[in-house]
Every structure is written in C-alpha cells, then in structure tokens.
Structure 1
Amino acid sequence: MRSNSRRWYLVPGWIAAASAAALIVPFTAAAPGMAAEPEPATAEQAAGRWSSAALGQLINAIEASRAEGLNPADYGAAELRRAAADGQGPALDALATRSALALANDYYFGRVADRGNMQWMIDRSADERAQLPARLAAAVDARKLDEFFTALLPSDERYQALKAALADASGADRDRLRVNMERWRWMPRSIATDYLYVNVPSYQLKVVQDGVQLSSYDVVVGARSTPTPQMVSPTGSLVVNPSWYVPRSIIKTSNLRPGRGGYIYKASAGGGYSVVQPPGPRNALGKIKFNLANNQAIYLHDTNAKSAFARSERALSHGCVRVKDIDRLAAELMSQGGDDSALDQALARSRTATLHLPQTWPVYIVYFTADVEEGGTVATYGDPYGYDARVLAGLGGKSAPDKSLPGKPIEVASN
C-alpha cells in the first residue's frame, strides 16, 4: 500500500531514500540482501530533468512490465500521471527517478530480495547495480528508455519462451511462469556456451556444448531438509576411487559406527575426531567424484545406492548431486578434446587417482519448476523444496515463511 506521502513499501531502500528535492539517489545503504554500494550518485548521474516525452516512455515501460510477470501498479504509473498534471519540477523528477530505478532494479536483478533463504548462491556483481543510475541518465537524455529497460532483461531464449507462454496463461499456470521468470532475472546475464546444467526439480543433469544439449543424466538431489543450493561452480577434474571425508553435519545426525560400512575414525586435536570412508564397494561416493569449486562441499558423484534412480521423485541426498551412469558422463567429458583412455585405466585399478578434464566446465545448479526443453517446449516440474510460494509472495512484496524449510543457509553435507 502507498501512503499519502507516496513512500512505496515495495521500493528497495536504496531507491526509496532518494531525495525528492535534490534528485539525489543515495547508494550508501545496501539493498536487502546486497553488499554496500559505492559513493552516492549525483543528480546528473541519476536522471536529470525528465521531459514529458521521457515521462511518457517511462509510463509505457511500466505498463509493459505486466508482460514480464510483474505488476505495473508497483512502479507508480498512476502517481506519475498525477504528478505530471501538476507540471514539471524537482518533485516530478524525483518521483520519476525512483520509479525508473525501481523497475530497472527488478528487471536487472529480480524483485525478490530474500533469495538466500532459498539457498540461492549465484551472486551478481555489485558493479552492475552501481552502473544503473548512469545508464538511466543516458537513456533519459537520449530518449531511449525502451531500449534501456529491454537491455536489462534476460536475453536467454529460455526466458523468452517462458514470457511467450505467460501471454496465454492464467491462474496457477501464470503464477508458476511468473515465479520462474523471476528466477531468470536472478541469473547472470552472460551464460557460458559449454556447461553442465542441473535443474534440481527436474532431477536431471544436461551436458551443453556450443549452446546445444549433447546428453542428459538422471540425478538424485538434496532432500527437503538438506536442500541442494543453487550455484555456479566450475569443475576441472574428477577423482576415481574417492575417499569420503564425512562432514560434521552427517556425523552428528547419522548412526555411523567405527568399522561399520568401512568407516574409519581418526582422533583430532582437542579431543575431537574425523570420519573417513575409504574407497570400495561400500563407499557412499561410488567410483567417481567430480570436484567442484565451492565452499559448500557440493560436488557431483557416483553412489552405491543406485536403486534411488528408479524413483520418480529423487530429492533424497544430503545436498550433493548423485549422477546415474556417471562413468559415461566422465568418459564424455574426458573425450571432449582429450583422451579418455586414462579414465579406463584408472577405473581398472583400485587406488585413488585424480584426472584433469581437457577443459573446465561451469556447472549451473539451478531451481526452475518451469523450464524449457529442446525445441522450445515449456516443461513443468514439482516443487520439492516448496520455494515457489516464497517467490510468488516476494513478487507481491510479502514474505511467506515456511517453517519446514531452512530459514538460513545450512551446513550442506557432502553426499
């Protein structure tokens, strides 16, 4: 709701703090979930004086936000029209600047701020946000606001396919598409052409090269109580016959016993202990583990519990991604510009070996309950972690706490 002083509860604090009289948009206070921002932008950097033509373009852009799954009422078109009737001046300029920056923020970074509570760990650069006022000012001066706002949205064809589907959707179907378009706005604007793509609700891993899907593999992902976090994490090596160094979170919650399952307990300084499961047929990581560069102990690995792949819903692990036929995936990646004979030799032995891939592959671990398959078909999936309701509430400027889900980033267990 809006008060009589036109302070919008949906506008992020870094925008709402703009000085209406001086047209200064301060960036000293961080937006929700964002790092502290650079020095304040000057009036000239933020927008300058808004002409009637520029104001008309802004109002049109706000109305067009409906096609992006957003609500035009959240960006003050009605207030802008009323203010314009009173004539141009500092108050109108300040209102237009706040409105334009609010829309630009939501297009470029997404509207929902508490994504960290949904284990979203795909970061965007603070520099991108710092550039918005100057980019807006240039667009106002050039009377190119349409181009400015369009350039902020994801250009990925999957976002465009969801947008096309939204035009004919209604009810729950429309809500699902809006939620997933919002997640695309959280994503980096530059996506690699060669990458591994794990969409958690789909329970699949895809190998993509030059933007074309080469293959797919069934996966098991984290359980609802230990969800797999969303991240971009490169892999450049794999381990054959890995040992499993059991995380403390699993030691605390699992019924592990020395000798049982091959576990070895080792005393550590301070009277504590660590637990290691050596390579072998009982090892929880199976025969192959792909190393991923992240601080959450998340990686791709084989498993000795292969019966789980027969289930349709596979949110079962402690957080890591178990891959069916991972030896086939390893051979596929080893052969991309290299020689997979080293893999065959390592698999034929029982000792641990680390092999470097011919190239480093970014691994995108994401969460889309509506995604786009080959040929542009929109596919829908279940919501194993119950995140959709949170995103939908956030789009409406509300919060939807779910006590059954972790309220803050958890210690992810590696299995």
Structure 2
Amino acid sequence: MRKSVIAGSLLVLTFTLAGCNFLAGETDKAAVATRIEQVHWNEASVRQLRKAVDSRAAHGLDRMQFVVEGQPGSAEGQEALTRSALRYAAALARGATDPAELYDIYTVRRPKPDLLRGLAGALSTGEVGDWIDGLAPKDEGYDTLSRAYLALRKQTDAPTPAIPDRDEPLKPGTADPRIPAIARQLVASDYLDRSAAQGGSYSPAMVQAVQHMQADYGIKPDGIIGSDALEILNLSDADRATTIAVAMERMRWLDRNAPPTRIDVNIAAGRLLYWRDGKIADSRKVVVGEPANETPQLGSPIYRLVANPTWTVPRSIQSKEIAGKGGDYLRRNNMAWKNGWVVQQPGPKNSLGLVKFDMKNEHQIYLHDTPAKQLFQEVQRQRSHGCVRVDDALDFAEMLARDEGVIDEWHRARATGKETFVSLPREIPVRLIYQTVGFGEDGEPVIRSDPYGWNDGVAAALSFPARQTYRLKTSGNDVGP
C-alpha cells in the first residue's frame, strides 16, 4: 500500500514540475506508475547528480538554484532525488525557462524527451552523470558559448565597463586609447568594416559609423561619442556573460533534430539561412518587424510560392497609415477598394514585391519580396510591420523552385503577370528565431544588439540582474507588411 501511494505521488509530480512534460505522450497512468517504481537511487548515482548540478555554470545556469534533496534510503528520499534530477534534466534538455510563458507567441518546435525513461535507464547502468551531460545541445557553437561564459564569469565583478566614460566627449580626429575598443565594437555590430578599424584616432570612417548607429537609436547623429553613444557601444564583462547565458538558453529551447532542409531566420540579426540536406546552401539579409510590430518567433512551413502577388492591406495598416490619404494616393500605389478592403494589385510597386512565400500560420506572417530595396543596406533591419522581406527574393524563389523540382511551373507563373500560385511538392520548414550572439570569422562569440529587448525577460528568469539599455528607434514610415 505504501509503495502505491509513493508511486501515485510521483505520478502527479511528473506532470506538474516546472511546467515541463517529462512524460511526453504517456496517457496510461498504471504504466507510468510502474515505470516510476523502476527508478532507484544509490549513493554513487546521487554523487553523480550533485556533481552535474555543481557544474551548471558551464550552461550559464549558476545563478539559478538547483538543490539536490533526498537520500536513497527511503521512499520519500527516492522521490525527492527524482524530483531534483528531473528539474535539472529539464533545464538542460528543454531550457530552464518556458518561452511560451515569456512571449505572447512562440511556436518554434521544442525538444520533448522522455526524461523519466532516460533517468531510469541511466540509474540502471550507473551513468546518471553521462546522461545529464548529454541533454544539452551538442554542437560547436554551444560549446564555444560555454567556454566564453566560464571565462567571463571570473571577471564579472569588474567595477568599470569595457570602454570607460570620461568627462570630455570624443570628437572626430581625436586620438584616444579607447579607439581600438570602440572600433572593435563597431565592427562587431556591423557598423564599421573591419579594414577601417585601424589606428588610434577617431577616423572619418568611424565617425560615419557612429552617426549611423546614433540615428538607429534615436540619438542626435553628430558623430560625437558621449555617454549615450558609449552606453550603446559599451558591454562590460557582466553584460557579455548575461547575453551569452541567454543565448545558450535559447539554444536549449530548439529541437536537437532540426529538419536537414529548412529555413532559419534570425530576427535579431536580420539574417536568413537556407539549409539543404544538412548544409548551408544560402545566406542573405532580411528585413523584419520594427520594435512596435515585432516579428514573432514561429515554426511555420512554406507550402507554396506566389508569383505577382496582390496585397490585401490588413485593417491595422489600413486604418492607421492609409485611411484619409485619398484617391490619388491609392491610384499612385495601384490600390483600390474591394469588398471593404484596400487591395494593391500586382506590379513593381506592390508592397509584397514580385514574389510571396506563403506560410501556414494563424498570424499572417510570411516571407516576401519588397520594392524598398534600400532597407537591406541598413545595419538594423527591424523595419517592417512583422513579415519578413527577403533580399533578392526572386533569386531565392528561383533557388527553392529549382531545388523542389517546380522551376518550369514557377517560370510560367511569373510570365502571366497575374497572381499565380505554385504549390511545393513538400513543405519547407521555417523557424523564426531570436538570437543576439553570433560567431566571428575566428569562431569566437560576437554580441550584437537586442533590438526588441527580448533578452531581458530571459535574463531575469535565469536570475541575472536587470540592466537598462538603449533600444532601436521605431521608424514608422513604411506601409508594407
């Protein structure tokens, strides 16, 4: 009787811990109870668990409390140890936080490991430590972030920022020992070409880069580096460590077995990667949602190409940005009222450009072309109303059509000059993700801007202190989706 009570208690536990689905797909309670009874701890396994938890800094989780409770000598102790192990295992396998709770929209596929089965197997072979170590992402990028975090963690108590602020603002032409550090951060943020990051004086190329950055963040673009500009440029070791810990957490959210053919869009960086059979086949710039109209983090496939698309203007854009502009505006932009909606006809002025990549989601988010080609030259490419504009989208459509065996159908559709749909023989998965840490040519982490401020909530959930920073300025002058 006592044994069944403990099993029932553990059954409830497994469905409620930290909001994680430890028993993915299990519906047979009796079978679950039987599996729970097969979980047995001994002193050696407890030591392995404690060692794994004590090493959590390697995953940027050292600010969170993972207390190992219980002893193997009693049923209650077994239950407590299982609870402790599953909580830490879930943090490594799926993330210590739940993105669905941090964001209004998050539909990117996440890992769903059967942690109870894995724990039982590890306990039976005495390999709990190895099992736990294998739950986090196993790729070079994650390992690089881990090493960088551990190195920065030793220096996070430094009292001064990386680039110190001084009484006098830094003006063009001035020589200053801070110049190399400023140049490095401008290069890392894509404002300055690496070849121009030379010397110890504030050069014209650097001035132009700083002016561009100031304009993006709503600061007077005078090229003078004062406290405001330094706040954008400046990352202390503590700031870097926090950002890297957040980046590792975001990686833990992602499915370990991503489809070998897929499209990944990094919203924060404004960059698209096309993977074909497990290898990167293409990379190009994209324009994504501005801070007031953020592109959500979605997992949503492309199922067809649309040649010469029309654009039915959403009510929100119609009422806020088109209403009251009159018939002349509609005629100039090839728009007309149709059944109570403003519809833009196909053509070079169409806000969707000459191709749309239709995706399956309820949020009306998709990839498309655009006539506003100049936006791809921006460093901060968060400029749209939420959809994703693709640089040289016609070339990208050609690539997908050829790879999917519908190139002839695509050419015929283009030639009609009318809105024409070309279905793909198989859907191409798309992941819209948000990652503010990339990797430089040397393979080391490069920290970029956090245009939506979406790192803050993750950092807080991981128990890092809050930090106020400048945010990207909303442009508000683009009508397209």
What TM bracket, shorter-length normalisation?
Answer: 0.7 to 0.9
SS of residue paired to 2:134: helix
Paired amino acid for 2:456: A
Q: Is residue 316 of structure 1 aligned with residue 383 of structure 2?
A: yes
The CA distance in 1 between the partners of 2:76 and 2:18, in whole Å, is: 23
Q: 1:317 is matched by which residue type in structure 2?
A: S
SS in 1 for 2:376: helix
Instruction: State the structure with more CA Rg.
Output: 2
Match in the other structure for 1:379:
446
Q: Which residue of 1 aligns with 2:62?
A: 71
One-letter amino acid matched to 1:89: S
- Which amino acid in 2 is paired with 1:102? R
Q: Is the 8 A contact 2:310 2:350 kept in 1?
A: yes
Shift of 1:362: 1.6
Matched, 1:51 2:42: yes
Q: CA deviation at 1:343?
A: 3.7
Instruction: Letter of the 1:69 partner, please give it.
Output: G
- Give, in angstroms, the shift of residue 50 of structure 1: 1.8
Please tell me whether residue 225 in structure 1 is matched to residue 208 in structure 2: no
Equivalences for residues 161-200 of structure 1 within 5 A:
161-170=144-153, 171-200=238-267
- Tell me how far 1:139 sits from its aligned partner: 1.7
> What are the residue-to-residue correspondences of 1:99-178 with 2, within 5 Å?
99-118=84-103, 119-124=105-110, 128=112, 131-170=114-153, 171-178=238-245
Question: Using a 3 Å threshold, how does the CA distance of structure 1 residues 339 and 24 change in structure 2: closer, same or farther?
Answer: closer
Structure 2 residue aligned with 1:369? 436
How big is each residue's C-alpha offset from its partner over 1:140-175, in whole Å with a ceiling of 9 and x where there is no partner?
222111232133222244323322332323422111
- Residues 299 and 430 of structure 2 are in contact (CA less than 8 Å); yes or no, is this contact kept in structure 1? yes
AA aligned to 2:120 is A
State the superposition RMSD in angstroms.
Answer: 3.4
Q: 1:32 deviation in Å?
A: 4.2
CA contact (8 A) 2:240 2:447 kept: no
Please name the residue that 2:357 is paired with. 290
Aligned to 1:95: 80
Q: 33, 49, 52: which is aligned to 1:61?
A: 52
Letter in 1 for 2:295: T
Q: Within 2, Cα distance between the matches of 1:54 and 1:228? A: 45
Identity of aligned residues (%): 31
Instruction: Tell me if the contact between 1:223 and 1:319 (Cα under 8 Å) persists in the aligned partners.
Output: yes
Deviations along 1:99-128, one digit per CA (max 9) or x if unpaired, are 101101111111112544433321437xx3
Q: Retained in 2: the 8 A contact 1:288–1:301?
A: yes
Secondary structure class of the residue paired with 1:139: helix
SS in 2 for 1:356: strand
Q: Distance in 2 between matches of 1:399 and 1:46?
A: 43
Shift of the alpha carbon at 1:371? 2.8
TM-score (normalised: structure 1): 0.79
Find the counterpart in structure 1 of residue 13 from structure 2: 26
Judge conservation of contact 1:198–1:363 (CA < 8 Å) in 2. yes
For the residue of structure 1 that corresponds to 2:337, the secondary structure is strand
Give me the whole-angstrom Cα distance separating, in 2, the residues matched to 1:365 and 1:299.
10
Offset from partner CA, 1:356-386 (integer Å, 9 cap, x none): 3465322121100013467744333211110
Q: In the alignment, is residue 331 of structure 1 matched against residue 409 of structure 2?
A: no
For 1:9, the equivalent position in structure 2 comes to none
Gapped regions of structure 2 (runs ≥ 5): 154-237, 473-478
Local SS of the residue matching 2:152: coil
Q: In the TM superposition, what is the alpha-carbon distance from 1:288 to its structure 2 partner?
A: 0.7
Q: Which amino acid aligns with 2:92?
A: Y
How far apart, in 1, do the equivalents of 2:451 and 2:359 lie?
A: 23
**Among 323, 327, 334, the residue aligned to 1:262:** 334
Deviation at 1:334, TM superposition (A): 1.9
CA contact (8 A) 1:107 1:153 kept: yes
Contact 2:297–2:432 (CA under 8 A) maintained in structure 1: yes
Please give the alpha-carbon distance, in whole angstroms, between the structure 1 residues aligned to 2:379 and 2:448. Answer: 11
Counterpart contact for 1:235–1:293, Cα < 8 Å = yes
CA 1:75–1:20: 2 relative to 1, 3 Å:
farther
Instruction: Give the distance between the partners of 1:46 and 1:381, measured in 2 at CA.
Output: 48
For 1:250, what is the secondary structure of its paired residue? helix
Corresponding residue for 1:279? 346
Local SS of the residue matching 2:446: strand
Describe the shift of the 1:91–1:250 C-alpha distance in structure 2 as closer, same or farther (beyond 3 A): same
89 and 188 in structure 1: CA distance in 2 versus 1, 3 angstrom threshold: same
- Cα contact 1:197–1:207 (8 A) shared by 2: yes
Q: The residue matched to 1:180 in structure 2 has which SS?
A: helix
> Deviation of residue 266 (structure 1)?
3.0
Matches for 1:341-360 after TM superposition, within 5 Å? 341-357=408-424, 360=427
Shift in Å at residue 132 of structure 1? Answer: 1.9
The answer to whether the Cα contact below 8 Å between 1:372 and 1:378 also exists between their aligned partners in 2 is yes
Structure 2 distance, partners of 1:38, 1:373, is 47
Deviation at 1:137, TM superposition (A): 2.1
Contact 1:369–1:382 (CA under 8 A) maintained in structure 2: yes
